[in-house]
Structure 1
Amino acid sequence: MIISHIIGQSRIGFNRDLKKCLENCFEFNQYFDKNKNYLNELKKKILYNNWNLKINNNIDYINIGDFSFYDHILDNIFNINCIPKRFKIKNNENFFKNYFTLAKGDSNNQPLEMKKWFNTNYHYLVPEYDLDTKFLLNLSALKNDICFAKIFKKKIKFIIIGPLTFLKLGKIKDNNLKNRLLLLPDLLLTYFSLINELGDNVDLIQIDEPILILNLSLVWLKCLKNVYNILCSYFTNIIITTYFEQINETYLKYIENINFFSIHLDLINYKKINDFIKNENIKYNYISLGIIDGKNIWKNNLEKSFYIISNIKKKIMISTSCSLIHVPVDLNSEKFKNKKIKIIKNWISFGNQKLEEIKNLLEMYDFNLINNKKKYINKNFIKNVFFVMNKKKSKLIFVKNIQNKIKKININDFKYRINYNLRRDIQKKYFKLNLLTTTTIGSFPQTSKIRKIRIDYKNKIISKYDYENLLKKEIYFIVKKQLDYNLDIIVHGEPERNDMVEYFAESIEGFLITNNGWVQSYGSRYVKPPIIYGDMYIKNYLTLNWIKYSQNLTKKPLKGMLTGPITMIKWSFRRIDQPNYITSLQIALVLKKEIKKLEKIGIKIIQIDEPAIREFLPIKNNKYKYYFNWAIKTFILILNGLKNNTQIHTHICYSEFNNIINFIKDLNVDVISIETSRSNMSITKILNSYDNDIGLGVYDIHTKRKMEINYAIYLIKIIINNIDIKKIWINPDCGLKTRKWFEIDKSLKNISYCSRIFKNLRLLT
């Protein structure tokens, strides 16, 4: 018999129930007392549905700990009471008020910083540590979940982020704390107490230690060994999990003799599983195989998976490679009428379907075990083989003309433009730009009125003519607002765009847009990643009509907005049948055509958004060079042939630049805009060596807090103190689509006002 389990399950509900509930609470500021019971009942409903799905698909364990109202790291912070003292929270009576204060900030405090969860598009909230950080158990929510779970009379698995990962991903906020590992003894005692407190109420303890895929120093590895030697000497039901990459092989000697119940491996990214299994030093009861892809949406090749598990002689568990929070909930909610799309749907598997794939593997394995047969073929197996083979041979995937274009790309297509210092002089004179140029990242509030216009057009309630005229009125309003703010560079505000990736994907052949394929990006913000199924090209231009109209509304420079190829790939479910760089080159050719046309009609500032360039970075730093080689070439291909007075911007948000700043320089864009507000401008210290212009994000748009004049002046002083003022642009840290007009009016006016104060001071010139 094989044991089955799931690393984690989606918590958003079948119809984005959690998002709708939370945003209603946030809107009316009632997320603590008034709606406490409603939020808890919604949690029960989502858990009930998730657990029933597991039971119906013969999954052996139901999970506790993978649900979160906002973020699983934030849950950990509360479970062990590691709340930063700057929030001055003395008790946990108003749980929801305290919980969402850390996530969204308040009048006195910025929220916790956000960072990307390894190489995914999920954002987690960063724990904060100081020398006085204490850890105390707070298990009230978990105990309620356990009581509820016992009704189902199934084995229970408790899930928690491991102590080493929790420490490693946090941020030290105290100069007196030189080494975060000094907090490990107290943290270990807290974890020990937590597991001991759970006792016989749970059958399995899943401790996630994804930092095992990173490059760790010797002291971290020794701590890893000591921590789990202690825990596993007392508790025999611990499964340690890693995902997103292969464990560094040198780390195995530190954990191979520890008495784990099981170790989980992400088989989608594990290339040497046989070497691991043949290791005679491994003493674990079970090896957990993440054989179902938890990050992508293609059907599992059941024939291949069955072969793998059938040839493993050790006791195994089968599971998803990682948590299913990274894929949509249910493919059955997609109602496609188009014949071509119906074919593509047969190649796809969402979260619920991945549970069914585990069930199919279990049935195949159990039947062969009982009947001692080498092959077991049932209806689901036959269907799976047919669809997997059909996808490989489909003419929908490969377009001969596009493949030929890629083959014709040569070294002459990868020539840099002239030196940036020369370009800067040309552009400053052309645009008549002064110091501390102000602009925005691109999008403005997506009001209910704008969303209704788009929905009405999609549902054919209004004509194309009416749709375009209504949106032109919105663009006029947005441009006028920016002129009132006295911003230097204007954008059209993107009212026609539902999403920075989906909008472009709708017009590019080779993309499939789902109706309900939502996944969580952070908190109550969800995205609907398109699916890249085939070669990409465009029949019409992407942004031309809207830009032409907007251009006539202002004499100030207008910035065109495009989403870059790296982000288009990373924020989509991408192809696995060809290298990423080929897909990237295909999108680059699409954008190159668009940019040349924009340049021709007089749009001389163009922003190519690449917020995902850091998160696409390989986990292993020995693969950085290969990744940046093709990523940078993609950019050079797009920009090759542009005039020197055409200024190219790119936007990168919530990224750590320390180890990639030199690669970023090689993109050779004219202006790079980045998020800096939540980190209190700490990144400016490493940006002083960056030669090209930099747009610093001083306004945190992920919170309702307004940008006050005093604070804007404070941040700009930090920037000028660290970076040459001739290189500085001032902007929000990200697009403004999620904000309200009353929130941004004051903030953008203050940013512009403060920028003018500094630029008018002679001592800075």
Structure 2
Amino acid sequence: MVKSSVLGYPRIGENREWKKALEAFWAGKLEESELHTQLQEIRLNHLRKQQEKGIDIIPVNDFSYYDHVLDTAAMFGIVPKRFAYTGSVVPVSVYYGIARGTKDAAASEMTKWFNTNYHYIVPELNEAQPVLTENRPLQAYREAKEKLGIEGKPVIVGPLTFLKLSKGYKATETDAWLDRLLPLYVQLLQELESEGVQWVQIDEPILTTKLSGDDLQRLKTIYVTIAAKVPALNIMLQTYFESVDNYNDIVTLPVKGIGLDFVHGLSGNLSSIKALGFPQDKVLGAGVIDGRGIWRAALGEKLGLLEELAELVTAERLIVQSSCSLLHVPVSTDRETKLPSELKDALAFADEKLGELVLLSTAVSKGGSAIAGELKECDRALQVLKLSNARNRKDVQDAVALISTKQPERSKPFAERHTAQQKKWQLPLFPTTTIGSFPQSAEVRKSRQLWRKGEWSDEQYAAFIREQIDIWIKLQEETGLDVLVHGEFERTDMVEFFGEKLEGFAFTQNGWVQSYGSRCVKPPIIYGDVAYKDAMTVEETVYAQSKTTRPVKGMLTGPITILNWSFVREDITREQVAYQLAYGIRQEVEALEQAGIGMIQVDEPAVREGLPLKEEEHANYLSWAVKAFRISTCTVKDTTQIHTHMCYCEFHDMIDSIEAMDADVISIETSRSHGEMIHSFEENTYKLGIGLGVYDIHSPRVPAVEEMTDMIDRALHVLDPKLFWINPDCGLKTRGYEETISSLRNMVEATKLAREKYTAFV
């Protein structure tokens, strides 16, 4: 009988119970003991669900109190020195301090988990003396067995992936760090082996990226050592998000199973197996159900693929799996009562994917006739969506085909635009601004709910939004900011807001996924052709501008970010969808300009996360991503200043593409990475306007003036002062009122000091 398994399950709960528990604890409304109790119940419910669905091999230790990479670091006692941690088991207060910062210590850096929208906390090795503080996988295994009778599969972040994703050591120290960490992994696995654990999933997604010869030797050292020290334990060496390049090096490792992605890495992985075979002493974890997408699987095609793999590998050595953890998709479609039937019938969230896995494992074992009814229903649902009016908008397709054949360019180069813009705006040295959003208080959220429920009229809601704009325009002026924003109080989410106003989108009621920590997002679904309807942001922006003599930026989300932060249709290419989005955003840019708004910010924080894992695919992606941005912004006048924003990614390898976007001003996160972004500009020149964020908005702490001054000074060693802006790292939506005002005042004070220091040299 072919078995089924998943690589991980969403943590957040059907009603985001996980998020609510964490935030109640952080707010001091929940005792630590109650936090543990509530999270255990959530965790056990997830295991019960998988058990009831019929999953054969259920993962444990995929649950987290914040982030699985942070869990691994804490398990090994790797805590930054600034948190003054001593002892063995890392307490919850220190654990959350690393993630969120404390009054006295900045949070650790946060960045994207490969090419997904999930963020992990970057481990800081530095002077750490790692030790196994507690065996979390063993605790999770025992809990599942004792409470539910489940023979769980502990999930662990692999040594090579953990090391490659960490910071705080030199390349020459890599082997020394491996020598410190590997014995701890061995100790952990030996304890699991002694407990009688049957399978352990060791996640090594780093194997789908480009590895050096030294890294391949380290990989071999790791798993040869583990095999020698823990001979009785079945290791499933798990890869995902792409195909593996070094197939032979990986499948010859002394492990019991190899997990491969047959969704996003289908072509490469399948061709490798066909050309080079698969070892007869190993089990193949076949990731055929998309762990990142929300579309119903074409079961007939998946069954055909599994039958082909069964011939190559043999059915008894096959486990039917998700392509990656289901962490990246919503929990269930059960409560989605408002979606069009043609769309809902074509969706599969985490729980539905569990059912697909069980169906496919049954079909491979018993033949396709065992699921004939399900196959027929699947084909019908997918065909209905394919033929729908939403996916066949000839007006959109023709217009986008026309604009995408031309090279989008501003009418004049940046140097000439900059001169014209300076003459128009008369901005001081080091202009100050924010990224766009201001705190969305409970009052703001409640007003939106009242309006959405119909308890408030459109007029009442619009009046409330204007009141908030009035308050924050005045506060920005009092604080001393040079370029203002309206605050985005009418917006739920920077992608959802625009999706609601464009055609071709659909929105779930409960389609939440974890982005970072307790931050959950509800990505829109791009299921049809994207079309512009009416002005989306003009009313609020024009109102804000009427309340001040200082410039107010129009605030839009860029096409690539909307693309990368949405669940996207799969019947056309992502490039085609990006151009449809760009055409829609262009029409809004033009509407803002026509309404008298002369500074327009088109945010693209998610450009880098869409970068393919394979280096050979980078150039093509960046080419059409840059083109989409320029389609959005190229038609404005020379004096109209285009801003953009990017955050929490490593940009050092795409500086040229950022410059090619030709935005007049770009703001980039700097502070949480402790200024490492500045190093990119020490090695690469940048000739356009730029603002490197001088404080971290994801932490509740108020940074001191001196901290920001240090960041400004370092940046000005490598950037042109005449083109330098000063701003926070990101939007301030999630922050509180007092901390926002205090932080911005300190930022303005740091700017004043910088102007006094540098004016004579400009």
Fold shared by both chains (TM-score > 0.5): yes
Change (3 A) 1:676 1:253: same
For the residues of structure 2 that align with 1:452 and 1:96, how far apart are their CA atoms?
A: 31
TM-score normalised per structure 1:
0.95
- Structural mapping, 1:433-472, within 5 Å: 433-472=427-466
**Partner residue, 2:730:** 734
- Counterpart of 2:131 (choices 126, 136, 140) is 136
Deviation at 1:412, TM superposition (A): 4.4
Alpha-carbon contact 2:144-2:151 (below 8 Å) kept: no
**Other-structure match for 2:14:** 14
Once the two structures are superposed, residues 59-115 of structure 1 have per-residue CA deviations (whole angstroms, 9 ceiling, x without a partner) of: 112222100010000100111222223322112467211211111122221111001
Q: Find the aligned partners of 1:284 and 1:600 in 2 and give their Cα distance.
A: 68
**Residue matched to 1:632:** 626
In 1, the alpha carbon distance for the partners of 2:661 and 2:678 equals: 19
Matched, 1:358 2:357: yes
Q: In the alignment, residue 561 of structure 2 is paired with which amino acid? A: T
- In structure 1, the residue matched to 2:261 is 266
Query: Contact conserved, 2:390 with 2:528, CA < 8 A, in 1?
Result: yes
Cα distance in 2 between the residues matched to 1:93 and 1:291: 38
Aligned to 2:164: 168
Question: What SS does the aligned partner of 2:297 have?
Answer: coil
The answer to whether the 8 A contact 2:111-2:649 is kept is yes
Asked if the contact 2:77–2:130 (Cα under 8 Å) also holds between the matched residues in 1, the reply is yes
Structure 1 counterpart SS, 2:271:
helix
Contact 2:330–2:513 under 8 Å retained in 1: yes
State the SS of the aligned residue for 2:464. helix
Amino acid at match of 1:344: L
1:289 aligns with 2:272: no
2:207 is the alignment partner of 1:212: yes
Q: CA RMSD in A?
A: 1.7
Q: 1:6-405 alignment to 2 at 5 Å?
A: 6-28=6-28, 35-92=31-88, 95-130=91-126, 132-139=127-134, 141-151=136-146, 152-172=148-168, 178-199=172-193, 200-233=195-228, 234-235=230-231, 236-248=233-245, 251-269=246-264, 270-278=266-274, 279-280=276-277, 282-311=279-308, 312-313=310-311, 314=313, 315-336=317-338, 341-368=340-367, 375-405=369-399
- Structure 2 alignment gaps of length 5 or more: none
Inter-partner Cα distance in structure 1 for 2:362 and 2:738: 57
Report if aligned partners of 2:137, 2:154 keep a CA contact under 8 Å in 1: no
* Offset, 1:561: 0.2
Structure 1 distance, partners of 2:605, 2:123, is 22
**SS state at 1:187 partner:** helix
SS at match of 1:615: helix
User: Which stretch shifts more, 411-420 or 283-292?
Assistant: 411-420
Contact 2:429 2:721 in 1 (8 A): yes
Counterparts of 1:537-686 in structure 2, within 5 Å, are 537-686=531-680
Give distance in 1, aligned partners of 2:601 and 2:236.
Answer: 46
Distance 2:197 2:411 in 1: 62
Whichever residue aligns with residue 234 of structure 2, its letter is N
The amino acid across from 2:568 in the alignment is: R
Q: Which whole-Å CA distance do the structure 2 matches of 1:412 and 1:60 have between them?
A: 53
Residue 357 of structure 1 deviates from its aligned partner by 0.7
| Partner secondary structure for residue 566 of structure 2 | coil
**Aligned twin of 2:691:** 695
Query: Residue type matched to 1:441 in 2?
Result: I
Change (3 A) 1:115 1:284: farther
Check conservation: 1:560, 1:603, Cα contact below 8 A. Answer: yes
Contact 1:260–1:284 (CA under 8 A) maintained in structure 2: no
Checking the alignment, whether the CA contact within 8 Å between 1:701 and 1:739 is kept in structure 2 is yes
The answer to whether the Cα contact below 8 Å between 2:23 and 2:518 also exists between their aligned partners in 1 is: yes
| Residue identity opposite 1:486 in structure 2 | G
Amino-acid identity (%) = 37
Specify the code of the residue in structure 1 equivalent to 2:365: D
Whether the 8 Å CA contact 2:141–2:153 is kept in 1: the answer is no
Q: Are 1:133 and 1:183, in contact at CA under 8 Å, matched by a contact in 2? A: no
1:652 & 1:704 partners in 2: Cα distance?
21
Matched residue type, 1:457: W
Distance (Å, rounded) in 2 between the aligned partners of 1:50 and 1:593: 45
Is the CA contact 1:697–1:734 (under 8 Å) kept in the aligned structure 2?
Answer: yes
CA apart distance, 1:720: 1.7
- Hey, what's the Cα distance between the residues in 2 that align with 1:38 and 1:283? 49
For the residues of structure 1 that align with 2:571 and 2:472, how far apart are their CA atoms? 43
- Taking the aligned partners of 1:612 and 1:100, their CA distance within structure 2 comes to 25
Q: Is the 8 A contact 2:556 2:601 kept in 1?
A: yes
- For 1:244, give the aligned amino acid: F
Shift in Å, 1:273: 4.0
Secondary structure at the counterpart of residue 78 of structure 1 = helix
* 1:371 match: none
Asked if the contact 1:296/1:573 (under 8 Å) is kept, the reply is yes
| Preserved CA contact (<8 Å) 1:167 1:181 | no
Aligned residue pairs: how many?
748
Which ranges in structure 1 are unaligned for 5 or more consecutive residues?
A: 369-373
Deviations 1:260-284 (A, max 9, x none): 2111111112214443334346244
Of 113-122 and 309-318, deviating more is 309-318
Superposition deviation, residue 639 in structure 1? 2.2
Which deviates the most, 629-638 or 680-689? 680-689
